[in-house]
Structure 1
Amino acid sequence: MMASSKRTKKVRKPWNPDNALLKTQPWRIKALFDPLLAIVDQLECDGTADIQNDGTAVFKDVVDGYWYESYTAIMGVVDVFEIHEKRAGVVIDMEPLRRLASKLKNDVDILLCDTEDCRACFNRMHSATLRMTVGYASGLIRDTQIQEQVERLKEAA
């Protein structure tokens, strides 16, 4: 009688990049936070913000080299994290960034306490981001873009 041998093979789930945690992809987190930090760094360092000829506060993205409106960029991030707050049932408190964006838009003096509050907000946002998956974060961005389009259509109507 011949002994039978049973071979077992581990079945691995196929790689799904959407399930990867953002903490394993620090370049994505860096791309989100670096422009915001650069705005705050410049405000703290020399008390200025880059301004276009029409008075609009802007920043230069070091990744693509293009200039973007600071208010719009900051509020886009605020919108994304506010959706996350609602979905995850967490409180990040995006008010410091909302206040900074408003002050930049309306050319109001920005105080050191404003930038310090923003840095504390960045820390809370960063902590939340580390626990997100790529797919979840992409979904937040997509849902924010849809929300913005819906608001534009409402304004146009």
Structure 2
Amino acid sequence: MTDPDVDGPHPAAPGRTIGAVFWHVVRRLAVGALGLMFIALLFGAGLVAYQDLAGPHCDGHRMGPADTCSVLTSRGYRSVRTIEKLNPAGTDPAVLTAPVNWHATQENIHQGVYSPAGMRDFHRTTGYAMLGGALLIALALGSWAYKAAKARSAAPRQL
């Protein structure tokens, strides 16, 4: 018989240490990937908020003071889908049709032609929602980084 006080702790089995190292690496990679995903979401939400709140745009293009934007919106069961087409100054509004895969009915479709002020109002709600989402993600990342730094400084060195 052996006495742990006399002999000291028993060494871990070799397979167990390899497994511990493996899962340590997997955890580090998973946390890093999750962090990168949140950073990408932060920048994506910030970009959409900037586009929607900085000034009027249509179909990803800045609108001039005399431009108009043709918009087709379909309200489906699960989502709202929108097609935008920029009409430069002096051109007729574009005629937009919903794609077949939208399964849109006439009562669910709304068409309109908007001025730059109208497009600013059209995108304002999405811009504020994305700004709020970006702030929440930034707060979550900041809290996560603060807790990780605090835990790292308090914990003894391992591996």
- Establish whether TM, by shorter chain, passes 0.5: no
Task: Say which structure is richer in strand.
Answer: 2
Q: TM-score, normalised by structure 1?
A: 0.32
Greater C-alpha Rg: 2
Instruction: Indicate the structure with greater helix content.
Output: 1
